Amino acid sequence: MTDIASAATVGATIDSRPIVRRRRKRITGRSLAVLAFLTICALFFCVPLYVVLTTSLKTMDEIRQGNIFALPQDWTLEAWRFAWFEACSGINCNGLRVGFWNSVLILVPSLLLSIALSVVTGYALALWEVRWAGTFLFLLFLCAFVPFQIIMYPLIAMTRSIGVYGTIWGVAVVHAVLAMPVLTLIFRNYYKDIPQEIMSAAVMDSGSFWRIFGEIILPMSGNILIVVLILQLTSIWNDYLIGVTFGGFNTQPMTVNLANMVTVSTGTASYNVDMAAALLTAIPPLLIYFFVGKFFVAGITAGAIKG
Amino acid sequence: MPRVSFERIHKTYGSVAVLRDLDLAVEHGDFLVLLGPSGCGKTTLLNMLAGLQEVTAGRILIGERDVTDLDPKDRGLAMVFQSYALYPTKTVRGNLRFGLSAARLPAQEADRRVAWAAKLLQIEPLLERKPAQLSGGQRQRVAIGRALVKHAEVLLFDEPLSNLDAKLRTEMRLEIKRLHDELSPTVVYVTHDQIEAMTMATKIAVMNGGVIQQFGTPDEIYERPANLFVAGFIGAPAMNLKTARLATRDGQVAGVFGNGQQIDLQDYPFARPPQGGAEVVVGLRPEYFGAPDAPARDAAAAWELPVAHTERTGSDATGYLRWGEGLLSLRVEPSQAARLKAGQTVRVTFPKGKANLFDAATGTRL
């Protein structure tokens, strides 16, 4: 007994030694280089952000002094208020909030439409026997790589013929359609990892396409749904080209609204308002990243089956 | 509990034929084991019965019903899978209930059946857990429960024990046997494990290369293998298969082996009169040999052979004797195994009426 006990304590002291050593480790040249690189990277993103943030909190008088790195002398949210309520985009002077609500109205239906259609298509392609599934997948794969500019004009003609061109629905539908190939491939590849035997068991238990989808498959899709949600949310929110092409007067998304505000050709440029507007536009995707970002990483790395 | 029959089943993948002209029928309440090495078509046959794979040609009947083109859920079957295939997001209760609610069974009846199956399989404390929180044996019990609650006429098992460790496998084997005795459903059970087949089956179909090699009770399969494949496949240690030439003289029949040893085949029930000089394969089960060096009267064969080595497997031991270039295995008492020293010559006997004879050219039983 005592032998074993003393052996255990010896083992313990041996184990603790490397930990002490590690703590006393010097900073080597290699880790210095890594630190320097990371610092430069951080500055590369932080300095512009700092300038944007401080400028948006300054008055125009202060900005004209030209000290762009100085902190504001009079902290003011006036530029933010002005950008949100009064800034002009073209002849329309109701501020960014118009674009914000347009963006929300575009986002919700296109998110629902694209995810709902692609999740079901991906499920069918991965887990059911679909005739010509291989050909269909190949076509989807091709579609995912067709540049938007090539099909822009035909799309305008098509949306006009169904009467949604120049409306919020036009932008939403185009977003949904363009996202479908990639999203379907993502869902299909995710569902391909679900063991065939689970599907066989479900087919023998129920046999219903929708019931198996709703009760078995969808509950297993939490991770991938969050990944796709974030992907879609940011890409739709940050899109400019589709919004400017398919959005009509007063139905353009926030990005287009912002661009119109900033690129004035007459009068003075109000840098503080521009900066505040840019930040306002960037806030929604940022918030999403903060709140569900950790699920994003988990969703990309985790498969469908746990345990 | 109906009978299950396969009639002239063909299955091809592209140009590759997996099953050819297969006929098989089991009576109600039978425990049929489809036994064979990997790739012999046994799982394909089971999946076709389940409706998970399509039949290229032929008919499958359950009772009087032709189910060949029915959907899996309409065939009145339940299946237990090798990987358990539990629904990972549902609790044990949810797993058991899914098939019942999908079949639009009243909630009360579904609850009653779940409680019944949980009690039968002793998984009551696990009902609210998720599959990830269960051990392998518990998952297998849940998978069996999920099949039982459906009160299906026919239960299918697809190698259900191969993911379990040896001890659990023995336990679950007894458990499945007990369930069959209590509920007596018709069972079709696929495995490559001959011990599972021998212990549980009432009928075994030994398959190889998409063909049923032999169909019969475990005893028939073991004692009278229909061909060389079955003879070599069933039994561990495997049957000794040695080539010999038949010698007939004065109504006596004997087998003369390549190394000059002989065996008296007078008591063998030949289907046709034996031809002198015909090349045959003699099959000798290791366990029928008499104890080494023990006197035996009336033996069919008595040979003096040198010991090669011995193997001890717990309750049993196997001795290997040199037989020309090859080895002859025989079961010995563990207490005697220590006496068999390599190089030493021992005298072994084989009793009458226990040898198996096969045609060397066709491999079929004589």
- Dist. CA B157–CA B18, nearest whole Å: 20
Give the residue among A123, A213, A128, A133 at the shortest CA–CA distance from B71.
A128
Shortest CB distance from A198 goes to which of B50, B85, B102? B85
- Contact: A205, B52; criterion CB under 8 Å: no
Contact flag A307-B85 (C-beta cutoff 8 Å):
no
What's at A182, amino acid-wise? Answer: V
Sequence-distant (≥ 6) Cβ neighbours of residue B8 within 8 angstroms:
B21, B22, B23, B57, B58, B59
Say if B85 is an interface residue toward chain A (CB within 8 Å): yes
Q: Three-state DSSP class for A235?
A: helix
Are B289 and B282 contacting, i.e. CB atoms less than 8 angstroms apart? no
Contacting residues of B for A200, CB less than 8 Å apart: 47, 50, 52, 72, 79, 81, 85
Residue in A closest to B155 by C-alpha: A204
Minimal C-alpha gap between B132 and chain A (Å): 5
Contact assignment for B83 to A195 by CB distance below 8 Å: yes
Degrees to nearest 5, angle at CA B296 with B295 and B302: 95
Q: Is B203 on the interface with A (CB under 8 A)?
A: no
Average pLDDT along chain A, 307 residues, taken 10 residues at a time: 43 47 66 92 92 89 84 86 82 83 91 94 91 90 87 90 89 91 92 90 89 91 88 90 85 86 73 88 87 75 52
- The pLDDT value given to residue A11: 42
Q: Which of A204, A216, A307 sits opposite B87 (nearest CB)?
A: A216
Q: How is residue A95 written in tokens? A: 């501020």
B41 conformational bin, left if phi > 0, alpha if psi -120 to 50, beta if neither: left
* Residues B81, A200: C-beta atoms closer than 8 Å: yes
Q: In the structure encoding, which two tokens stand for residue B225, read together? A: 């293998």
Strand partners, B283: B241, B356
- Mean pLDDT by runs of 10 across the 366 residues of chain B is 84 87 90 91 91 90 89 89 90 92 89 92 91 89 92 90 87 90 91 91 92 93 92 90 87 85 86 84 91 80 89 87 89 84 88 89 88
User: B266 — contact with chain A (CB < 8 Å)?
Assistant: no
Is B135 touching A (CB cutoff 8 A)? Answer: no
In a domain, A165, yes or no: yes
CATH topology of domain B4-233: Rossmann fold (3.40.50)
| Nearest alpha-carbon partner for B231 in A125, A98, B242 | B242
Can you give the pLDDT at residue A302?
58
Of the candidates B82, B99, B132, the beta carbon closest to that of A306 is on: B132
CA gap A215, B102 in Å, rounded = 10
Given this model, what pLDDT does residue A25 score? Answer: 62
Q: Which helix (H) or strand (E) holds B241?
A: strand B240-249
Q: Does CATH number 2.60.120.920 belong to domain B240-359?
A: no
Of B81, B99, B150, the CB nearest to A197: B81
Residues of A in contact with B99 (CB under 8 A): 204-206
What is the chain A residue with the closest CA to B150? Answer: A205
Pairing of strands B203-208, B31-35: parallel
CA A255, CA B262: separation in Å to the nearest integer? 97
Instruction: Give the residue from chain A lying closest to B76, CA to CA.
Output: A204
- Is A11 within the bounds of a domain? no
Integer Cα distance of B230 and B185 in angstroms: 27
Determine, for residues A204 and B133 on separate chains, whether the beta-carbon distance falls below 8 Å. Answer: no
The CATH number of the domain holding residue A114 is: 1.10.3720.10
* CB contact (8 A) between residue B81 and residue A216: no
Tell if the CB–CB gap between A204 and B79 is shorter than 8 Å. Answer: yes
Query: CA–CA separation, B184 vs B196, rounded Å?
Result: 18
Q: Angle formed by the axes of helices B92-102 and A196-205, to 10°?
A: 50
Do the Cβ atoms of B72 and A204 come within 8 Å? yes
What is the per-residue pLDDT for B102?
85
Count the residues in chain A.
Answer: 307
Site of tokens 């040999």: B289
Of B50, B81, B102, which is closest to A211 when you measure between CB atoms? B102
Taking the C-alpha atoms of residue B323 and residue B346, their distance in angstroms, rounded to an integer, is 12
Count the alpha carbons within 13 Å of B208 in the hemisphere toward its beta carbon. Answer: 13
B361 CB-contact burial (10 Å; exposed 0-12 / middle 13-18 / buried 19+): exposed
Q: What is the pLDDT of residue A305?
A: 54
Whether B4-233 shares its CATH topology with B240-359 is answered no
Inspect the interface and report whether the beta carbons of B81 and A208 lie closer than 8 Å: no
Interface probe, candidates A128, A204, A224, chain B, greatest B C-beta count within 10 A: A204
Sheet-wide strand order for B252-257: B262-264, B252-257, B240-249, B279-284, B356-359
Provide the pLDDT for residue A87.
Answer: 80
Whether residue B295 contacts residue B207, with contact meaning beta carbons closer than 8 Å, is answered with no
What pLDDT was estimated at residue A300? 64
| CA separation for the pair A175, A113 (Å, rounded) | 9
For residue B79, which phi and psi values (nearest 5 degrees)? -135, 145
Predicted pLDDT of residue B201 = 93
Which of A203, A205, A210 should be substituted to probe chain B, the one whose Cβ sees the most B Cβ atoms within 10 Å?
Answer: A205
Q: Do B73 and A204 touch (CB under 8 A)?
A: yes
Terminal-residue alpha carbon distance, chain A: 39
Interface contact flag, A203 B72, Cβ < 8 Å: yes
Distance, in Å, from the CA atom of B204 to the CA atom of B220, rounded to the nearest integer, reads 9
Alpha carbons B198 and B213: distance in angstroms, whole number: 16
In a domain, A35, yes or no: no
- Letter for the amino acid at A179? A
Residues of chain B positioned with their CB less than 8 A from the CB of A305: 88
What domain count does chain A have? 1
Does residue A31 belong to any structural domain of this protein? no
Q: Taking CB atoms and an 8 Å cutoff, what residues of chain B touch A220?
A: 88-89
Q: Report CB contact under 8 Å: B89, A206.
A: no
SS3 B156: strand
| Model-level ipTM above the cut of 0.85 | no
Interchain CB contacts (distance < 8 Å): A and B: 75
Residue A267 belongs to what domain range?
97-301
Q: Which structure tokens are listed for B147?
A: 């099949």
Report residue B204: phi and psi, to 5°.
Answer: -120, 135
| Domain definitions of chain B by residue range | 4-233, 240-359
Which pLDDT belongs to residue B291?
82
What Cα–Cα distance (Å) separates residue B212 from each residue in B6, B34, B219, B327? 12, 9, 17, 30
B81 contacts chain A (CB < 8 A): yes
3-state secondary structure of B220: helix
A181 inside domain:
yes
Write out chain A residues lying below 8 Å of B87, CB-based: 198, 201-202, 215-216
